[in-house]
Chain A
């Protein structure tokens, strides 16, 4: 899966949780949770969905590193490689 495909999966998963999001307006380098109204339950569901789609483990200790879409791409991309 290349970067573009991974981003598409991220956006699709996000839209399942927050359908009101305008994907075109999302900035990859800004904290995701400041752009999208995600509470801790939404965040957990987002990660669970990513885990199911990509078969990637995401320990809770790593949550703090996953702030922006870019962070998520790099983290998940690294795990998928």
Chain B
């Protein structure tokens, strides 16, 4: 039997509130299936399971606030049969719900679905208090006040960024990258495309980062338990600002192996879901590096704070025409400042500089990305 725990949702989210169960005891589950929805201070996160089996017991009630790592449910592995019922309070596996007529009536008056309730009474019976709790926890009717959410999110960001600045010896590098070729290429590529298939420079930049990471893998991975663990694939966290304030940096998976069009599609989808507040746990838990793009806001350069346990962050500023020395003469060239914040425990400035040089090179040949 497997304990299914609330997975990590990123270094700045260490707890969540269970909003919804998507499975019930007895249900088969497959790899990648969404089994629950958990609310965090930033977004509602669909929690995915990564091992197949059959749901045995749900251990957390809707509305409960739970830290990352809490066992949410137990799962029978394929071929395993259910052990005799445990002593602890449990949600009955199947069949008629144990519920008193009074509780059932109360549930009906509040439109609470008793089938979805976890009972806390004898033998898993649903009590009046359970019904009240479920009614109070319903997200649609009682969302956490915006101000409370805001404060929670600021606290969460502060905790993660404080930890980063305490623990990670950052070093910073920047490089001015000529963007004429990339811009011309993009203009040409977009000229023949319908609106919905057009590419953004942000997607080109993500592909370029992934290409540079292939050569400099020490920027891609996690620093855990005193050692660097390089990541095989580039799951690039994209810093996306939230309309109500704050930011979130969920991952686009396997950027290096995807086409530019696929990365653009993923980016559009991700921004859409961030804005509507619906993310997947795998996107939150496994970015191997973060890219932040503040160019739209008009800053020249951004020097980021690394998201632990990642070891690097790449920042892009605004692309704008700037003075540029070319063959001994002054010219005007669209440029962007690409910056790298990296973890000195893992890499040195020399390798960081080579990484940025590679990134610059990749952006000169966008057709190869």
Which residues between 26 and 81 of chain A lie within 8 Å of chain B, taking CB atoms? 37-42, 44-45, 47-48, 51, 57-61
A59 touching B191 in the complex, CB below 8 Å, given contacts A40-B200, A40-B201, A48-B196: yes
| Separation of A37 and B268 alpha carbons in the complex (Å) | 17
Nearest Cβ on chain A to B277's Cβ, whole angstroms:
11
Write out the residue numbers on chain B whose beta carbons fall within 8 Å of the beta carbon of A47.
Answer: 195
Nearest A-chain residue to B267, judged by Cβ: A41
The one of B195, B267, B271, B297 in contact with A48, judged by C-beta atoms closer than 8 angstroms, is B195
Contacts of B296 in A (CB 8 A): 38-40
Q: Do residues A60 and B202 form an inter-chain contact, with CB atoms below 8 A? A: no
**What number of A residues sit within 8 Å (CB to CB) of B?**
20
Interface residues on B, range: 20 to 34
Contact check, A44 vs B272: say whether CB atoms are below 8 A apart.
no
Contact A60 B187 (CB under 8 A): yes
Q: In the bound complex, do residue B243 and residue A41 qualify as a contact, i.e. CB atoms below 8 Å apart?
A: no
Q: Secondary structure at chain A's binding surface: helix, strand, loop or mixed?
A: helix
Taking CB atoms, residues of chain B closer than 8 Å to A39 are 241, 296-297
Q: Is the CB of B190 within 8 A of A60?
A: yes
Chain A: CB-nearest residue to B196: A48
* CB 8 Å contact bits of B249-274 with A (1 = contact, 0 = none): 00000000000000000011001100
20 contacts between A and B (CB under 8 A): A18-B243, A37-B243, A39-B297, A40-B202, A40-B295, A41-B202, A41-B268, A44-B195, A44-B198, A45-B268, A45-B271, A45-B272, A48-B195, A48-B196, A51-B194, A58-B195, A60-B190, A60-B191, A60-B198, A61-B187
